[in-house]
Amino acid sequence: SQEPQHSISMDKWLKKESVKTLESASVSSSPHCGKSKSNDHDGPGKSLTKKRKYDDDYIKYGFTCIGDQEHAKPLCVICGDVLANSSLKPSLLRRHLETRHAAQLDKPVDFFKRKLAEKKSDITSFISKASTDNENALKASYRVSYRVAKASEAHTIAESLIGPCIKDVVHCMLGEKAAKRIDMVPLSNNTLSRRINDMSNNVETTIVHRVKNSPYYAIQLDESTDVANLAILLLFVRYVNEGMVEEDLLFCRPLEERTTGEDIFNLTNAYFQEKEIDWSRCLGICTDGATSMTGKYTGFVARTKKVASKVSWTHCSIHRQALATKRMPEELKEVLDNAVKMVNFIKSRPTNSRIFHVLCEEMGSIHDCLLTHTEVRWLSRGKILVRLFELRIEILVFFNSHPFHLASCMENHVWLQRLAYLADIFSRINDLNLSLQGLNITVFNVQERVESLIKKLQFWESCLENNQTECFSNLHDFLAEHKLQLDQCTKTNIIAHLKGLCTTFREYFPAMSGDNDWIRNTFDDTTFSTQILNTKEKEKLIEISCDYELKRSFRNLSLINFWLSLRNEYPFLAEKAAAVLLPFSTTYLCEKAFSSYAHLKTKYRNRLDAEPDLRLYLSPVVPDFQELCRAKQAHPSH
């Protein structure tokens, strides 16, 4: 046949030594071979090239090895050149030494070993520097993200503004080389979001740990609807940390469907169970008066009392104050309504608002605009009335050129007397409202300030009965300016209003019994007569009242921190004091947080999960940046 002949005729063109070498390469896999070859069973597409290994004797030619055993490449310790694996031959290595480094040809082996040690040191230094730069870039990324969250800015601001600004400053101050290193810091939108989430989780873990370790705690919560129509529940906690009282945001979560007391309790209880927070150490709950919170059987408070036996409920004092001021005589209510209509006539029309602004500037007025009335804002009523009364002349001039059906009121002295009184009285009520806002407000603070206002109301009533108007500055100045006497009907309405305020404030703020006075009058000799302490507790109270060092501490510490400092020495008295002092008296923190939430989650960011940003913005707890960086692999921005 022809096939055998053809096969035999082709053999003479083949190098049989090469064939044998390739055949032996297909079966050789010993790690002790001087050369490593690819195997046939590596599959199709695998090259049958020779793989050479590094020998320690090659250092005498000035070469070390980089890469693993199967992919070794020679590295010249003098110039740093990296050659191919196929160059791992003594002849090729020596040729490199002779042609490139002839001056070192006769150097001893120790010379090349020293060069190798220097090269390793340089490589280690480079890797260390690169690693340090990456770690610093990671830390800087967290720091910038924290600043963005603290400023409640959009996450895109870092890459679009902060990064370029930093680079410009560094370029001007330190030069181009330093400015290029700024590019290593990851500042993209998604990166900042991840960093903020990491820091928020870190802060939340810290707060939860503190609450779990606190002997007792109290909460305040409120619900509102955001720009995306989500029902958001905010919960703040007051707890003891290292002997001091602290307040912080515990969570900000959406209510999925309804906002009933059951839904609010289920969400809160699920969070407490997830974080293993013990309900039994909860001493107080502060909410507004909504039915979902205060319902007798199904409200949040009623459900909470089933799992927290020590808990007491407090109706927010600021909400109570706002409710107490709603009632007034019909004549004064009419003045208030007409005042709001005047403001709306000017403010709701852009043209009128601009013209009035120019008019105020031309007349050299203290203010150049009116304030818009908002019923739900606590301070709105007092502020708009004061501003309206102060700009009454400008408003009258404006109405002369822009007719309005209530313009005649601005020329009616009786109407203006009533307006002046309303501006004065609501300014005083605003002062009370502001005094109830803030941190660490206790039930005693509320009682003292409300009692002060009630006594002032009674005093002002007696002053008006004696025709003394000095206690109302705007009214007094108006009467003196126009040489008028207080209108009798107006006087009657004012006295009726003051009496009504006394009555409603007493309804919403009943007088407290003196049984808890021992808490704030600890060093009064008569405090041991309280009825809520047993004999042993009264004896302990006497011991405290006679201790000079404790008396000095009482002056230097806040009331609640003073009693917490006695928790180990006088545990029963300290716990009874904490049950009165620790619960929140207002939902001020929730109201303030909702304002911050509205600033964070705008119509342009209506898909934002605001909880991480809000927690970092509101919380005084600083994230543990070192722990966060250790948990991340540091790498530069691409």
Per DSSP, the three-state class of 240 is strand
Whether residue 48 has pLDDT greater than 60:
no
Q: What is the pLDDT of residues 400-425, one digit of tens each?
A: 888 899 889 998 999 999 999 999 99
Whether residue 527 has pLDDT greater than 90:
no
Whether residue 25 has pLDDT greater than 70:
no
Q: Exposed/middle/buried for 385, CB within 10 Å: 0-12, 13-18, 19+?
A: buried
Amino acid in position 588: Y
Cβ atoms of residues 418 and 495 within 8 Å: no
Dihedral angle, C-alpha 492, 493, 495, 499, nearest 10 °: 130
pLDDT mean across residues, the chain: 85
609-617 average pLDDT score: 94
Whether residue 514 has pLDDT greater than 90:
no
Calculate what percentage of the chain has a pLDDT beyond 90: 43
pLDDT recorded at residue 420 = 94
Angle between helix 189-213 and 611-618 (nearest 10): 60
pLDDT recorded at residue 211 = 96
Instruction: Tell me the CA distances in angstroms from 447 to 145, 324, 458, 604, one per residue in order.
Output: 42, 15, 17, 43
Between residues 39 and 500, the one the model is more confident about:
500
Exposure letters 565-597 (e unless 16+ CB within 10 A, then b):
bbbeebeebbbbbbbbbbbbbbbbbbbebbebb
Q: Exposed/middle/buried for 506, CB within 10 Å: 0-12, 13-18, 19+?
A: middle
Would you place residue 19 in the very low, low, confident or very high pLDDT band (cuts 50, 70, 90)?
Answer: very low
Per DSSP, the three-state class of 473 is helix
Handedness of CA 530, 536, 540, 545 (dihedral sign): positive
pLDDT recorded at residue 296 = 85
DSSP letters along 57-115, please? GGGGGTEEEES-GGG-EEEETTT--B--GGG-SHHHHHHHHHHH-GGGTT--HHHHHHH
Q: What is the pLDDT of residues 564-579, one digit of tens each?
A: 899 889 989 989 999 9
Distance CA 331, CA 41 (A): 103
107-130 average pLDDT score: 71
Angle of CA points 590, 594, 599, to nearest 5°: 150
pLDDT recorded at residue 134 = 81
pLDDT recorded at residue 421 = 94
Between residues 54 and 284, the one the model is more confident about:
284
Distance CA 550, CA 567 (A): 13
Angle of CA points 377, 381, 387, to nearest 5°: 120
pLDDT recorded at residue 5 = 42
171-193 average pLDDT score: 89
Instruction: Tell me the CA distances in angstroms from 381 to 249, 300, 324, 454, 505, one per residue in order.
Output: 30, 31, 14, 20, 18
210-214 average pLDDT score: 95
Whether residue 316 has pLDDT greater than 50:
yes
Q: What is the pLDDT of residues 445-488, one digit of tens each?
A: 999 999 999 999 999 999 999 989 999 999 999 999 989 999 99
Run of H or E including 368? none
Residue 260 φ/ψ region, left for φ over 0, alpha for ψ in the -120 to 50 degree band, beta for the rest: beta
Whether residue 3 has pLDDT greater than 90:
no
Q: Exposed/middle/buried for 132, CB within 10 Å: 0-12, 13-18, 19+?
A: exposed
565 phi, psi to nearest 5 deg:
-70, -15
67-92 average pLDDT score: 83
Exposure letters 454-491 (e unless 16+ CB within 10 A, then b):
beebeebbeebeeeebebbebbbebbeeeeeebbeebb
Residue 376: which residues within 8 A CB-CB, separation 6 or more?
none
Whether residue 187 has pLDDT greater than 80:
yes
pLDDT recorded at residue 136 = 86
Q: Exposed/middle/buried for 242, CB within 10 Å: 0-12, 13-18, 19+?
A: exposed
Most confident of 45-54, 203-212, 463-472: 203-212
236-259 average pLDDT score: 93
Calculate what percentage of the chain has a pLDDT beyond 70: 88
Q: What is the pLDDT of residues 346-366, one digit of tens each?
A: 988 899 889 988 988 888 888
Whether residue 531 has pLDDT greater than 60:
yes
pLDDT recorded at residue 555 = 86
pLDDT recorded at residue 10 = 41
Whether residue 432 has pLDDT greater than 50:
yes
Distance CA 121, CA 191 (A): 34
Q: What is the pLDDT of residues 215-227, one digit of tens each?
A: 999 999 999 999 8
Q: Exposed/middle/buried for 424, CB within 10 Å: 0-12, 13-18, 19+?
A: buried
- Which two structure tokens, joined as six digits, stand for 33? 């071979």
Amino acid in position 71: H
Which of 400-404, 438-442, 506-510 has the least mean pLDDT?
438-442
Whether residue 73 has pLDDT greater than 90:
no
